[in-house]
Structure 1
């Protein structure tokens, strides 16, 4: 299991691009690994948690700063 989350910076991209980048990263990761996604599209606040829940993954952290939202997702 990774110590530091893999970082995906999707700022400047509109949905569904941040979610697609997240899905691609999760496919290559082991169960329990962490990924941090940073996005500035307001729809990410809805799309990312929905995608994670549908895929059996867990949003373990969500924060907002400087016009962007950051998620840490644990692969299920």
Structure 2
């Protein structure tokens, strides 16, 4: 995770282990990805913690400049 920008590292550490939706933003503030998760911390961190085989995912992660999220009551609410 050393290649992740410091402010993203802090966000990853403070993500709750709850269901929710997450958004990735590029440096210009444009939303580049929206996802849902049963566990925000595990799901969002998974993009940064493992070696990605998918070239599309690798390019996405390189573009992430900010992460926003919203906690919901259940995974179904994230839909």
**TM-score for both structures, normalised by structure 1:** 0.29
Higher RCO, Cα 8 Å, sep 6+: 2
Compare the two structures and name the one with the higher helix fraction: 2
Compare the two structures and name the one with the higher strand fraction: 1
Bigger Rg over Cα: 2
**TM-score for both structures, normalised by structure 2:** 0.28
